[in-house]
């Protein structure tokens, strides 16, 4: 670059901070997108398990993200409780076969 009269150090001094700023902005946006995607995924998981969807946001908290997988793995899910209650109700309800009209 010496042939055109621009020193490489001068070029880096002029362009370098802009490139660093663009890379930093890109990385920040990429990190925010990853955090949002992670939050949405965990909110869906907790909602499908029968918990409040907002518990998925706890996965963004450093200590809670180590505890909550144990709650999901070893705790009794609210949806399991609902299924058990429905099974109990079904057992208590006597089965009555449909009456044939004799046609």
Mean pLDDT of the chain: 84
Model pTM score: 0.63
Pinpoint the alpha helices (H) of 1-103. 8-49, 64-74, 78-92
Q: What residues contact residue 43 under an 8 Å CB cut-off, 6+ apart?
A: 53, 54, 55, 56, 57
Percent of the chain with pLDDT over 90: 40
Cα distance between residue 101 and residue 64, in whole Å: 61
Confidence of residue 54 (pLDDT cuts 50, 70, 90): very high
Structural domain boundaries in the chain: 2-92
Condensed to tens digits (0 to 9), the pLDDT of residues 24-45 reads: 999 999 999 999 999 999 999 9
In terms of Cβ atoms closer than 10 Å to its own Cβ (0-12, 13-18, 19+), residue 39 is middle
Q: What's the confidence (pLDDT) of residue 1?
A: 47
Is residue 42 within 8 A of residue 59, CB to CB? The reply is: yes
Confidence of residue 76 (pLDDT cuts 50, 70, 90): confident
């Amino acid at each position: 670059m010496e042939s055109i009269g621009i020193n490489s150090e001068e070029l880096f001094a002029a362009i370098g901070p802009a490139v660093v700023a663009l890379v930093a902005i890109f990385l920040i946006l990429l990190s925010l997108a990853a955090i949002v995607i992670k939050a949405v995924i965990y909110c869906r998981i907790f909602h499908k398990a029968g918990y409040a969807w907002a518990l998925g946001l706890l996965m963004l908290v450093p200590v809670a993200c180590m505890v909550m997988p144990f709650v999901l793995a070893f705790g009794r899910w609210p949806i399991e409780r609902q299924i058990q209650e429905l099974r109990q109700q079904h057992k208590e309800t006597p089965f009555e076969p449909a009456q044939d009209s004799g046609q």
